A and B are shown apart, each in its own frame.
Chain A
């Protein structure tokens, strides 16, 4: 090959663009697969088969649903703030794609290596809640507004213990680079931070479910109370983008959890990307399992859990980690 082409290929911009294209493909494909897994798990938990007729074992069902969503008319309700209304789904989806960039899929597969990758993910995932507020506010709908209000309180409450548990791990590893944190762990479970510091792992998992607005913490979109909460008024791909963003966020929190607590790409014999994806999908299945097991918490329960339990526990954990790290030198 012409060496100049190779030089261009190694340019950071080329890597970024290629990475983004791959990420878009990954998010889209994963959305389809996860919707299928979600519905299958829901079906089997409730002693029914789930999607079955479109494609083998209903595998093509999400694809058909996606085509339907794309084909639908985009309607903005009367009295809505058009700019905010249409900005919200884009704003929900865009940060999710950025958060994929620093995820350590494999030591040799880095679209963008940042020494502050963890901070980038936390910062941009914090933007996600802004889109919920805009969606709820812009759609001129009471349910939407209530959902948005809930989203804010929930997001603020759960970001505190989430950050504390992440900080505990970052302090142990002495880095905010997800690649380096992963590299500090070993191939076997007893070398993982999730086993060394199970409390932080537990807190992170609970907060991750809450931050992604998944059941049992799906209060911003609680169907039985708020119709669909912040996305009540969205049709077609407006709703589709929120939906895709939710699944993308699930992958991000699972990916971060895998990297921070489960040794990321580290594993015996097989290539790194395989182990990383296995860990991510195990976590995703666990989150889906949670959704079909637990009923939605009440709002006071939600806030109590965060402020009265998780935040003090996370502080305690953080303090312990600081002491241990201090003694360890």
Chain B
């Protein structure tokens, strides 16, 4: 290696070192981007994915748009959704207790039970994407904590009713 090549190598090396110091020096002077949690809270929740929740009808927010087709249950790769609706009573069995079966059920257009098990969910969003009536969306609560696994099995119909009351 000739001397001029060595000088060239040293020059480019030193230059890159100075550029590196410039990058970190500039970053040092910039304000931080982290949110100091108990004092501040995040505000960019539009892009946040919480557990899925039901969307209410426009005229009646306590009732979901859901038509109990069961497409979301099929689409879910983690099997975290449970949608049950009343099974049509067979002849001779009318008047007995209403049986619930997995959606879809013939003649049933509203879900009786909608449960999401958030401990299984991977937040892929396939359910919301598949829904033909846009009845599922991501909720926006980033501060969900519990000591009990059961608290992550969320009854979405009850939640929708509670939110509608508020």
Contact call B21/A47, Cβ cutoff below 8 A: no
Return the contact of A294 from the options B20, B25, B28 (Cβ within 8 A): B20
Chain A window 44-83, contacts with chain B (Cβ cutoff 8 Å), 1 for yes, 0 for no:
1111110010000000000000000000000000000000
- B residues in contact with A43, CB < 8 Å: 32
Q: How far is the CB of A202 from chain B (nearest CB, A)?
A: 9
Q: Cβ of B32 and Cβ of A293 under 8 Å apart?
A: no
B30 adjacent to chain A (CB < 8 Å): yes
List the A side residues contacting B20 at CB < 8 Å: 293-294
Q: How far is the CB of A42 from chain B (nearest CB, A)?
A: 10
Choose one: A44, A49, A290, A309; the contact of B28 (CB below 8 Å). A44
- Binary contact track B83-107/A, C-beta < 8 Å → 1, others 0: 0000000000000000000000000
Instruction: Check: A124 CB closer than 8 A to any chain B CB.
Output: no
Interface size on B, residues (CB 8 A): 15
Complex Cα gap A294–B22 (Å): 12
Interface flag for A289 (CB, 8 Å): yes
B4 at the interface (CB under 8 A from A): no
Please give, as numbers and ranges, the residues of chain B lying within 8 Å of A45 by CB-CB distance: 24, 27-28
Determine whether the beta carbon of A49 is less than 8 Å from that of B24: no
The interface size of chain A toward B, counting residues with CB under 8 Å, comes to: 15
Bound form: Cα–Cα A290–B25 in Å: 10
Question: Residue of A at shortest CB range from B29?
Answer: A44
Is the Cβ of A293 less than 8 Å from the Cβ of B34? no
Selected from A49, A289, A292, A294, the residue in CB contact (under 8 A) with B34 is A49
- Interface assignment of B33: CB less than 8 Å from any CB of chain A: yes
A202 to chain B: closest residue by CB = B14
Instruction: Given A294-B17, A309-B10, answer yes or no on A289-B32 (Cβ-Cβ < 8 Å).
Output: no
1/0 contact string of B26-67 vs chain A (CB within 8 Å) = 011011111010000000000000000000000000000000
A41 at the B interface (CB under 8 A): yes
